[in-house]
Amino acid sequence: MAGNDPQRPSGAPSAGNGAPQERPVREAPRPAVDRLVTGVLVAHGPARLRNEPNGAPSYFITVATDRGERTLWGREIQRALADSRTKPKPGDPIGVRENGIDPMTFIQRERDDRGKVISEKRADTPRPHWIIEKREFFNERAAAAKVFRDERASRHEAVRNQPALHSFYMALDSANKVAARIRDPASRRWFLALTREALALTIERGEPPPKPPPKTLGAQAQLTRDDEGPTR
């Protein structure tokens, strides 16, 4: 681990035939891109926040980017480095991704015999705030996410080339079982598009596949009814 350099600059990441017409499928919303800083790892270590004498204890990582050195701060950076799968060292090309702090949310809805919601439970799955890996890790994840988004891609070939995709395809299989119980075709396709994109973003970010709480997938079958649009 490199020690603190107080001189390093600081930075914050900041029809007409009588057949029923289907509603158009809404595109799955894509969240704002999480911040990814790429460059060469210069140094990292514990320090007072922004090197201020009275600053709170923190941790920094300095990356030499195409636009100069950039220093990111956060106490969780130390854990991200310890948990890194590629174990980058000073001099290695790396990526530092700062994920949004919002957790992934699963909603369980219980309905009565008439389809009316009688109870609702929310379960949040925290996401890692920082992911720090060698640059090739993020390149591989971006390529894997591109393949996963392509519905025409061969699943067999995709998993053979990217074994990590197996768990994500299994999650997609579960979503397809849920979608089969959604009667409205447009809602069904919207739900599957939303799920595929959410999983692709998880791949892209370098996160493991989500693990929903027990019975969540069964409950999600009640996300829509014939007279309802997709539920956000």
Per-residue pLDDT at 221 exceeds 70: no
Give residue-wise pLDDT tens across range 168-195.
999 999 889 988 988 889 999 999 999 9
Range of the domain at 48: 35-220
pLDDT band at 143 (very low <50, low <70, confident <90, very high): very high
Of 36-45, 137-146, 151-160, 209-218, least confident by mean pLDDT is 209-218
Mean pLDDT, residues 69-80 taken together:
93
Q: Give the pLDDT score at 157.
A: 93
Indicate whether 171 belongs to any domain.
yes
Per-residue pLDDT at 67 exceeds 90: yes
Sheet holding 68-73, edge to edge: 68-73, 57-65, 35-48, 93-98, 130-134
Indicate whether 14 belongs to any domain.
no
First CA to last CA across the chain, in angstroms?
Answer: 44
Indicate whether 232 belongs to any domain.
no
Nearest CA to 74 among 60, 84, 90, 89?
A: 60
The β-bridge partners of 96 are 37, 132
pLDDT band at 149 (very low <50, low <70, confident <90, very high): very high
Indicate whether 10 belongs to any domain.
no
**Contact yes or no for 73/51 (Cβ under 8 A):** no
Q: Is the dihedral of CA 41, 42, 45, 48 positive or negative?
A: negative
Give residue-wise pLDDT tens across range 1-22.
444 444 444 443 334 444 434 3
Q: Give the pLDDT score at 96.
A: 94
Q: What angle do CA 101, 103, 106 make, to 5 degrees?
A: 165
| Domain total of the chain | 1
Indicate whether 172 belongs to any domain.
yes
**Contact yes or no for 215/173 (Cβ under 8 A):** no
Mean pLDDT, residues 23-29 taken together:
40
Give residue-wise pLDDT tens across range 90-127.
999 999 988 765 555 556 667 777 777 777 776 555 55
Report the share of the chain in percent with pLDDT over 70: 68
pTM: 0.59
Three-class HEC string of 65-100:
ECCEEEEEECCHHHHHHHHCCCCCCCCCEEEEEECC
Q: Give the pLDDT score at 4.
A: 44
**Contact yes or no for 35/98 (Cβ under 8 A):** yes
pLDDT band at 220 (very low <50, low <70, confident <90, very high): very low
Q: Give the pLDDT score at 117.
A: 75
| Residue 178, CA atoms < 13 Å, CB-side half-sphere | 25
Give residue-wise pLDDT tens across range 37-59.
999 999 999 999 999 988 899 99
Helix H or strand E segment including 60 = strand 57-65
Q: Give the pLDDT score at 19.
A: 40
**Number of helices (H), then strands (E), in the chain:** 6, 7
Indicate whether 78 belongs to any domain.
yes
d(CA 130, CA 77): 6
Indicate whether 23 belongs to any domain.
no
Place of tokens 């996300």: 223
* Average of per-residue pLDDT values in the chain: 76
Per-residue pLDDT at 35 exceeds 70: yes
